[in-house]
A and B are shown apart, each in its own frame.
Chain A
């Protein structure tokens, strides 16, 4: 069964450092998403991406965040200057349609900012 792959599984970074979280969505999917989940809390929407541009973003997704699809297979989330409160699980997801379709999620990257 096709999978969404995320790397690394765990990233520890110093506060103020830049991090890039990587995702390989399902190959024939056209819509891509990043979500985050602070420990024990709900899954929060960050951004959706379609046709090489951001489709929608949440209030969390401020100027410190950016997304990119650098080639035909990868989808990345960059946090420019990490804060302690950025510590969370970050999930990438993809779908074949924009609405009316369930998402396939990756296993996540646990980001720990120290």
Chain B
């Protein structure tokens, strides 16, 4: 199948703590994964990506981990800030004669001050 799903619909963390958002994917042929952030009333915003030949990729305060053995993706946000409050989607880039990205269900992150 070509589903990308999330383990938890909501996550609440204290400001300053680290956040971990998890995602499972089912298409073992996918070779590119992306995390998007969506704030209220806005379109999804690219955060970080990872190709299937990598296990880990780091950005500014964010890290994506890919475990191909169990088809699991995670997004780690260091020192979570109130501005990180949003819905986070993992997405899977598929190419089968065409181009499309499939989004997971989303996890809402609440940051408590």
Query: Which A residues contact B (CB, under 8 angstroms)?
Result: 4, 31, 33, 35, 41-45, 48, 50, 55-56, 58, 91, 93, 98-108
Contact = CB atoms under 8 A, between A and B. Distances in A.
A33 B100 CA distance: 8
B51 A103 contact: no
Interface of B: 31-32, 34, 36, 38, 41-46, 49, 51, 89, 93-106
Contacts of B36: 43, 102, 105
A113 B51 CA distance: 40
A91 B95 CA distance: 20
A99 B51 CA distance: 11
23 contacts: A4-B43, A33-B100, A42-B103, A43-B38, A43-B89, A44-B103, A45-B101, A48-B99, A50-B99, A56-B100, A58-B100, A98-B99, A99-B94, A100-B32, A102-B34, A103-B34, A103-B101, A105-B36, A105-B45, A106-B43, A107-B41, A107-B42, A108-B43
